[in-house]
Every structure is written in C-alpha cells, then in structure tokens.
Amino acid sequence: MATYIMSDIHGNFGRYKEFLQYSRFSGDDILYIVGDVLDRGSEAIPMIQDIMQRNNVIMIKGNHEQMLLPILDDLTYQSQEAQNQIISDEIEIAQIGQEDTLRDFCKLSSREQNKITYFISRLPVYKELAVNGINYILVHGGLPDFSDMPLEYYDENDLLFGPHDFFINHYGDGTKIIVGHIPTKFIEGAVPDEIYHINDTIAMDCGCGFGGQLGVLCLETMEEMYF
C-alpha cells in the first residue's frame, strides 16, 4: 500500500487521469488531494464526480470549493435563465476561472447537483496521518499565525486561505505540514512548478491551474512524479 499526495488540480482532469493510468496507483493505495479541484480548468465537474466514486481517493477542501459552494447551492433548482444570470453576476464580481465549472454543473440533474454540493459541504479542512513513523498534517492554505494550538481551534478560512509561513519549523517534533494553495513559482527559493521541501513544510501546488505541472508525492518513498 502506498500513500500519494497531490493538490490544486483545478479542473485538469487529464493530468489526474494520467497519474491514475501511468503511475503504480492501485486499489490498495490511497490518494489524498489537498484541495482546489474546482475552477480554472475545463473539466472540474467530471473530475469531482470521479473522485466521489472512489473509496481510496480522499479530498480535502480548498478555498475554491469553499467559495463556490454557496453559488452551486444557488444554481440548484433554478431555471436556465436564472442560472445564466447568477453565473454572469458571479463572473462580474470576481474572475477565479469558475465559468466552465458553473456551466457544467448546470447541465447536471438536480439529483446529481445535490450529491456534489453535499459532498463538498462534508469535505474536511485538514487531515492528519502517519506514514513510516512520520506525522503529516494535510491542509490546503496552511497554518497562519502558528501558536501550537490544536488544529480544531483554527478558523476554517485561515486553514483554507493561509497565509502559511514556509520559513519556520512549526512543531519541532518531526511533524510535516503538506500544503497547496500557493504555486511554488511564487514561493521564494522554490524551483517553479516543482514540489518544494522547506523546513517542516512540503508545498504541493506545482501550478497546474496556471500552465504548470501536476505534482504527486509518494510518502513512503518520497518519490516525486509530474504530469
């Protein structure tokens, strides 16, 4: 059994499928996705539907899931005219690459729409696990204003949006923090579009939503893969 990590796929369903097809990922393995499946790319809805059907793919909520959830709720059970107006209004307020996601959502039956919104609403904002004796915290945005307080005391939006401090060691006991959200091309000292290990943090967003790569890390071997 192997444990794989990826983050910030942003609708690039093809990259995700390449990993499933060309890596050694099998039914005995587990894949954790550290948020931001939705927006930017053109196939976010079929990808989240695929994730929902797999028992060994575990998704953690990202800020894009958080931001889109109330809009998806608003779109459900609406007429096409009303849906078009909601989408136009949202795009005018903020451009976050959401149009394809929202329009594909509107093509689904209301039953399938409800399944997706329920799934997103139940996503955890962090996950703790241990592999090879090392404790890991998986959290999309990171641990802002770190002060050793238990994770359940953090505000949900802080964990989803950060900012995470990459330049300190947080716990001092060997715990590793795996984050997404900020593409490595925007982190000082990182190689653009590659997984970045610094202090006790592993940054996983390799810019898949911004013309970069999808990075995947195997925790048992620390092997890095790119798609």
- pLDDT of the residue at 97: 87
- pLDDT of the residue at 212: 97
Q: How confident is the model over 31-48, as a mean pLDDT?
A: 96
- pLDDT of the residue at 197: 98
Quote the percentage of the chain above a pLDDT of 70.
100
Residue 189 CA: distances (Å) to CA of 65, 203, 209? 29, 12, 21
Q: How confident is the model over 13-18, as a mean pLDDT?
A: 96
pLDDT digits (tens, 9 = 90+) for 139-197: 999 999 888 788 998 999 999 999 999 999 999 899 999 999 999 999 999 999 999 99
Domains and CATH numbers, the chain: 3-64+122-226 (3.60.21.10)
Site of tokens 């798609």: 227
Answer whether residue 23 shows pLDDT above 90: no
- Phi, psi for 208 (deg, rounded to 5): -60, -30
pTM: 0.96
